[in-house]
Amino acid sequence: MTLEAIANELYDHQTSAEELEKLTLRYDGLSVEDAYQIQALLMERYMRGNDRLIGWKMGLTSKAKQQSVGVDEAIYGHLLKSMELDSPEVSLQGLIHPRVEPELAFVLKRPLEGPDVTPRDVWLATECIMPAIEVIDSRYKNFSFTLVDVVADNASSAKFYVGPQAFSPYQFQWENVGVVMKQNGVVVQTGAGAAVLGHPVHSVVEQVRMLSRVGKRIEAGMLVLTGGITEAIHIYEGDSVCVEFDGIGELNLSVR
Ligand code: 0L1
Ligand code: MG
């Protein structure tokens, strides 16, 4: 089986919302580098259609999430235009077993590249920070995977919603911004920006470094979803999810 054939298999399952067995149960010897190549081929397939790359996302950025998958590194994925929700409503159609998590999105005004990027470079290149909700959806049975599987599946990316209000990068100490997530009025998760690699700016640094290993960079105008501030929660038809970001307002997502 070629990496291209595996990417096509994932494409078919992502677009038909049908679960599949883990790749690592079926194909021997896939490396994390192979998995990122599969991810890139998968994204090229979407972009050969009418889609385009609008940003990047970091995943597994909290110690708790890394432990639950048994890894000690964060991962990245591509964000395509088709994943962006233009209103705070998500349809379950086309999704398998979605979960949502609160995130902070960095929006860049200048490109960022290279292995030596620092938080200072990120601040200089950041136009604004916006609260967001990511809808993740693993294509694997029971939402169960290894590092290789989840990287190949574009880091479980499915949909995301970015709130309408942008904030100055200097307005808050983002690691201290608290988050309360409610599902149908009941508090289900709490966290703070520090859950994301100690500070969400480190997530953008890591994203740039990881991309530099494959000769890529983040372009001006793109956004970076920096990683879940809390654990992700399962969502069901009719749910309403409210995420209160301390000092910067709330986002409300309806599930249809
Ligand atoms: O956005 C994320 O943190 C998802 C990373 C992949 C792990 C998962 O699906 O929970
Ligand atoms: Mg995420």
User: Which residues, including other chains, have CB under 8 Å from residue 82's CB and lie 6 or more apart?
Assistant: 46, 51
Instruction: Please tell me what DSSP assigns to residue 219.
Output: P
Nearest alpha carbon to residue 158 among 206, 103, 99, 200: 99
- The vertex-44 CA angle with 43 and 50, nearest 5°, equals 90
Q: What is the pLDDT of residues 24-56, one digit of tens each?
A: 999 999 999 999 999 999 999 999 999 999 999
Phi, psi of 167 (to 5 degrees): -125, 150
Total tally of structural domains belonging to the chain: 1
**DSSP conformation letters of 205-243:** HHHHHHHHTTT--BPTT-EEE---SS--EE--TT-EEEE
Nearest alpha carbon to residue 163 among 239, 87, 57, 247: 87
Query: What's at 250, amino acid-wise?
Result: E
Instruction: Please tell me what DSSP assigns to residue 167.
Output: B
Mutation pick for ligand 1 pocket among 19, 32, 65, 223 (CB with most ligand atoms within 8 Å): 65
**Per-residue pLDDT band at 65 (split at 50, 70, 90):** confident
**Residue 93: is it exposed, middle or buried by C-beta count within 10 angstroms (0-12/13-18/19+)?**
exposed
149 lines ligand 1 (CB under 6 A): no
Q: What is the pLDDT of residues 109-163, one digit of tens each?
A: 999 999 999 999 999 999 999 999 999 999 999 999 999 999 999 999 999 999 9
Tell me the CATH number at 103. Answer: 3.90.850.10
How would you classify the pairing of strands 178-183 and 186-192? antiparallel
| Ligand in nearest proximity to the CA of 103 | 2
**In the predicted structure, residue 186 carries a pLDDT above the cut 90:** yes
Q: What is the pLDDT of residues 224-254, one digit of tens each?
A: 999 999 999 999 999 999 999 999 999 999 9
Q: How far is the CA of 59 from the centre of ligand 1 (A)?
A: 5
Nearest CA residue ID for atom 8, ligand 1: 156
Ligand 1 atom closest to Cα of residue 143: 9
Nearest CA residue ID for atom 1, ligand 1: 59
Quick check: 191 and 113 in contact, CB under 8 A?
no
Q: How far is the CA of 73 from the centre of ligand 1 (A)?
A: 12
156 lines ligand 1 (CB under 6 A): yes
Place of tokens 């000092």: 247
**Per-residue pLDDT band at 256 (split at 50, 70, 90):** very high
77 lines ligand 1 (CB under 6 A): no
Range of the domain at 34: 3-255
Q: Interface pTM (ipTM) of the complex?
A: 0.93
Q: Maximum distance among all alpha carbons in the chain?
A: 51
Nearest CA residue ID for atom 5, ligand 1: 59
